[in-house]
Structure 1
Amino acid sequence: MPQRKEEALKWVCDFVFGQAIPGLQLSLHDQDHIEISAAGKTLIFASLFPQLDLPREEWSQQSPAEPLQEFSAEAVESFTLPLPIERMPILFGGPEVAPTATGLKVDADLFGGIFFLLSRFEEIVSAERDTHDRFPGSASLAYREKFLSHPLADIYRHAIWALVSLLWPGLKMPKYPAQPIHVSCDVDEPFDRSVRSPAALLRTLAGDLLKRRSPALAAKRLVNFAFSSVFGLRFDPCYTFDWYMNICEAHGVRATFYFIAGKSAGLIDGTYEIEDPRIANLLRAIARRGHRIGMHGSYNTYKDIDRLKRERLRLVVALEAAGVPLDVLENRQHYLRWDAALTPDCLSAAGFKMDTSGGFADMAGFRYGTGRPFRMWSWQRLEPLDLTQKPLIVMEGSLLSPLYQQLSFEEALATVLSLKQKTTQYGGEFSLLWHNSELLIYQQKSIFQAALASQLRTPVSQSRY
C-alpha cells in the first residue's frame, strides 16, 4: 500500500480483512495503488484517496466528483462479480475491471471509498450544520447520490472479497450468522411533563386530540394528572419501561437504556435528576432484568471532555447508590450532537469504549456506510482510536417527526424493515433507537414490535459469494 497513506489504509484493511487471512502481511511502497499478491497472482486497486499529507485547507478538493460513476453489470460480468445492489456508485476512480498478465486491475478505489465513509471525511471539510450544530443527512453525499439507504462500505467490502475469492478460490469471506438487533432507548422524558402545571396539561391534551388523534391517551393523561400523587407512575403515559422490556425479552433482545446525568443546557437536557429515587428504582429494574445501561451525554458535552468525565462519574455514583455497581463505558449523545473532528477524541479521553450516536437525526440510513461496529478514526491524531462505533440506523423521530422525514406509519414500518434487511444482509447489527416517551399510541407500538419480530434473510456472505 502507499506509504503516505499507511495509517488510514491499515485501518481500512482491518475493517475489510480483520483476522480472516492467516499470515497476511502489509508492506509499503511509493505507488498510488494497493496490490494484493500471492501464489503468482496479483489484484490491483487504484489508491486515490485520502491524501492527508496535503495542507488541510486543500482537503476539500479531494471530495468525490458528482455525479458519481457506477459499476455496471456488463462491466464486471466476465469476472463473475455479482452486484450486491441494483446500483453500485464509485466514490473515487472509474468502473473498469481489467485482466492483467497475473490477475486483475480495478480502477475504482474501494479502499479509499471505505475510508471516506467510515471517517466521515465530508463532515470535516463541510461547514454545513443545522440549528443544533449537527451535520444533516440532507447535506450528505449519500443522500444526494441516493445510497443513504444502502450500507456502501459493507458493499465495497463484499466486492473486494468477491475479487479476492475469484483469484484465490481458497480464500472466502468468513461466514457469520446474522447479528442480533440492537434496541436502545434514550431516556429523555421518563415521566410525563404535563403534570407540572394545568397549562402544560392543556397543551399536551391538545396534541393528543389534534395531532395524535387519541382520546384514550388524553384520558389517561388526565387521570395521571389528577391521581399521580396517589398512584405514582401507574398511569404515566411516558413510563413505558416495563412494556418496553417485556417486548424485548419476548424476542430475545436485551435493550440498552441511556440516561442523562448532567444539565449542560437546562431543560433541553430533561426534567429529571439521575439521583431521583424513581430513577434509582428504574435503574435497579433494568439491571435486574438483564438489560444494559449507558450514558446519554448532555446537550453540550459533544466537544467537552471535562463535562463528559463529570457526567460519567455522576452516573457511576448514582448506579452504585442504587445498588447497581457498573463502570459506564457506553455513550450516546443527546440530540445526536456530533463533531466528527472532536467528539470521538473527547469520548475516548473521557474513558468511553463504545458510542452509538452514529446516525443522522433528520433521516434514517447508513451515516457511516456500515451496520457493523468498527474502531473510530481520530481526526486529531490521524490514527484509529480505542473507541468502537456501533452505528445507529433508525431513530423513530427521524421517520415520524414533522421536523424530519414525517412519514406515515405505513411508510415508517416499510422503511424500518427494509433497513433492517439490508443491515443484516451484509452482516451488520441493526441498531434501532425508540424513545420510551414515543410509545404513546397503538401505531408507534406496532412499528416497534414489528421491527423486533420480523424474520431476517440470509446474509450475503452465505448466499451470494
Structure 2
Amino acid sequence: MLLIYTQKITPRIVYTFKHICTNILGISIKFTTRIEEFIAHEGMKLSYGKQALGNELFLQKVDLLLEQGLGEVDIKVQPWGDNFCFFPVSENSALPFDIFAASFFLLSRYEEYLPHVKDDFGRFPASESVGYQEGFLHAPVVDIWAYKFKEILLERFPEISLANREFHTEAVIAVEHVFNFQNKGFLRSLAGLHLDIIKLQFNKVIDRLQVLMRIKKDPINIFEDLIGFIKEHKVSMLFMFQLSDFSIYDRNINYNRNPYRSIIKYVADYAKVGLIPGYFAFDDFKTLRKEKLRMENTVHTPLERVINVKYNLNIPEFYTFLTELEIPHDYSMGYPETAGFRAGTCSPFLFYDINTESTLALKIHPYVFNSNIVETTDTGKLTSDVGKMLNEVKKVDGSFKAIFKNQDFSEYANFKAYYALINQIYEIK
C-alpha cells in the first residue's frame, strides 16, 4: 500500500491518483492529511504538495486539482525525453511536471468545457485540442507518463507490487444501416431506384432488383463474413446497432422489422453488441431510454455498451444520461475524422464530471481511429500511422480500439483496404 500525503483531499485528487496508481499500475493507495501519520509510516509513501516534508518521494503540484469548476489554464508544453509534458514544476520534484494535474486535464476533457470553435457538425474538433496543436495527439501520453512514474516507484520502492497489464486490440463495427436495399418499403425503394438511374449507377439498379427479388443477398449485410472472421482468428469484436426512429438524420429501417432483429440476435450469439443512439437521443433523456429498452427487448439482456460515431458528444450531459440509465460502458471517446488519442490515453477510465465535481459510474473506452479517415488519407501513410500508434499502445500494454462500419466490408467499398487494416490491428499475417 502506498501512503499519499496531501494538505487537502479533493475529489479531483482521489480520481486522478486512483486512475494512475490503481487502474493503470495496480497499486493500492491510501490518503492522509495528517503529517504525524505520514512521518510515522514506515512503508512506501509519497507527498503531493508545494514542498517536501523530508526525504520521502516528493511530487510537486500545481493548483488544478485543488480547484472547483472551470478557470483559466495556462498550458505550456515542453519536451520530456521522447515525449511531451505540461504543468512544469521545480527540480525538487521527482517528476519535472505535475503528472496528476496534466492527466486530469486530458481525461476530464477540461478543454471541451472551455469556449472553442466547433466544426460544421457542432462537434469539438481535433484541431482545437492541445494534443493536436502541440503534436502529441498520436501518443497515449497519460499511459506513457504513468509508466515513467512506474520506473521512479520501482527505483525508490523495489518491493512495490505492480499489476501486469496485457496489450489488447478490438474492432468496433458501427451499424447504422443493416440493409442497403432490403426492407426499405415500396416508396423508399422506388425513390432509390429512380435516384440510381439518374446517377447512371446501373450496377446498383441491378443489385437492388436482385435483392428485392431475393436472388441476391443485400450487399451491406456482411455479418456472416465478419462472424466468420471472428471464428477463424479467435478475436474480440463489438457490434453497435442503431434502433432510433426514422428521421432526416437517422434513416435506418424500422427497428421492429423481424429481419433487422434477427441479425442483431444472430450477431449477439457470437460477439458483444451495443447501441448507437439516434440524433435526438443525445439531447433527450426519454428518447435515449426508449432506444435502450428497444435493444434490451431485442437481445433480452441489459444494455451495457453505447457509442456515438458522428454527432456532437455533448459532454457531460450525455454521459450523465448514460449514468442515470445505468449503462456502464461508452465507446465514443475519439475523433470521427482524425486519428489519435482524444483523452490522451489508451486505457479505459471512469469519467469525471467537472460540473458536479464527481466521478461517474461510467467507464470510457477510447478509440484510436474511425474508418472515416480511410477515404481522405493516403493508404501508405495510414498504414504507417496505425503501425506507429499500435507500437505506442503496446509499449504501455494498453488497449487499441478502432471503429469501422459494416459498409466498409461490402462490395461497394474498397473492402480489401479495410480488411488489410483490420488484419493489421489484430496482427494477422
**Distance in 2, Cα, partners of 1:205 & 1:52:** 63
Which amino acid in structure 1 is aligned with residue 377 of structure 2?
A: L
Unaligned runs of at least 5 residues, structure 2: 36-46, 182-187
**Distance in 2, Cα, partners of 1:205 & 1:316:** 42
Residue matched to 1:277 = 258
Contact 1:178 1:428 in 2 (8 A): yes
Q: Does 1:26 align with 2:8?
A: no
CA distance change for structure 1 residues 360 and 453 in 2, over 3 Å: closer, same or farther?
closer
Equivalent position to 2:295, from 315, 336, 358 = 315
Q: Does 1:71 align with 2:80?
A: yes
Unaligned runs of at least 5 residues, structure 1: 73-85, 99-103, 207-217, 457-465
CA distance change for structure 1 residues 421 and 274 in 2, over 3 Å: closer, same or farther?
farther
Post-superposition shift, 1:392? 1.3
For residues 55-454 of structure 1, the aligned pairs below 5 Å read 56=70, 59=71, 61-65=72-76, 68-72=77-81, 86=82, 88-94=83-89, 97-98=91-92, 105-171=94-160, 173-179=162-168, 181-192=169-180, 195=189, 196-202=191-197, 219=203, 221-231=204-214, 234-263=216-245, 266-288=247-269, 290-317=270-297, 319=298, 324-397=299-372, 399-401=373-375, 406-439=376-409, 440-454=413-427
Post-superposition shift, 1:21? 6.6
Contact 2:241 2:273 in 1 (8 A): yes
**Distance in 1, Cα, partners of 2:405 & 2:364:** 20
% same residue: 17
> What CA RMSD, in Å, does the superposition of the two structures yield over aligned residues?
2.9
Post-superposition shift, 1:24? 3.0
**Distance in 1, Cα, partners of 2:388 & 2:231:** 23
Task: Tell me the number of residue pairs that the alignment of Structure 1 and Structure 2 aligns.
Answer: 402
SS at 1:64 equivalent: coil
**Distance in 2, Cα, partners of 1:235 & 1:70:** 54
Contact 1:260 1:297 in 2 (8 A): yes
CA distance change for structure 1 residues 23 and 51 in 2, over 3 Å: closer, same or farther?
closer
Contact 1:223 1:235 in 2 (8 A): no
Which amino acid in structure 1 is aligned with residue 379 of structure 2?
A: F
Which amino acid in structure 2 is aligned with residue 225 of structure 1?
A: R
**Distance in 1, Cα, partners of 2:324 & 2:213:** 45
Contact 2:9 2:31 in 1 (8 A): no
Which amino acid in structure 2 is aligned with residue 448 of structure 1?
A: L
**Distance in 2, Cα, partners of 1:200 & 1:424:** 47
SS at 1:48 equivalent: coil
Which amino acid in structure 2 is aligned with residue 197 of structure 1?
A: G
Post-superposition shift, 1:202? 4.2
**Distance in 1, Cα, partners of 2:26 & 2:384:** 38
Post-superposition shift, 1:363? 0.3
**Distance in 2, Cα, partners of 1:428 & 1:252:** 19
Contact 1:260 1:296 in 2 (8 A): yes
Post-superposition shift, 1:394? 1.4
Q: For 1:266-300, what per-residue CA distance to the aligned partner results, in whole angstroms no more than 9, with x for missing partners?
A: 13213212211111120121123x21110101113
Q: For 1:402-440, what per-residue CA distance to the aligned partner results, in whole angstroms no more than 9, with x for missing partners?
A: xxxx10222222222322222232121111111001222
Contact 2:351 2:360 in 1 (8 A): yes
**Distance in 2, Cα, partners of 1:91 & 1:205:** 55
Post-superposition shift, 1:190? 1.7
**Distance in 2, Cα, partners of 1:3 & 1:133:** 41
**Distance in 2, Cα, partners of 1:394 & 1:307:** 28
Residue matched to 1:45 = 59
Superposition TM-score, scaled by structure 2 size: 0.85
**Distance in 2, Cα, partners of 1:23 & 1:375:** 17
**Distance in 2, Cα, partners of 1:250 & 1:340:** 39
**Distance in 2, Cα, partners of 1:63 & 1:10:** 23
**Distance in 1, Cα, partners of 2:383 & 2:420:** 6
Which amino acid in structure 2 is aligned with residue 312 of structure 1?
A: K
SS at 1:123 equivalent: helix
**Distance in 2, Cα, partners of 1:140 & 1:241:** 36
**Distance in 2, Cα, partners of 1:163 & 1:314:** 50
**Distance in 2, Cα, partners of 1:418 & 1:449:** 15
Which amino acid in structure 2 is aligned with residue 186 of structure 1?
A: A
Post-superposition shift, 1:373? 0.8
Post-superposition shift, 1:49? 4.3
**Distance in 2, Cα, partners of 1:255 & 1:332:** 14
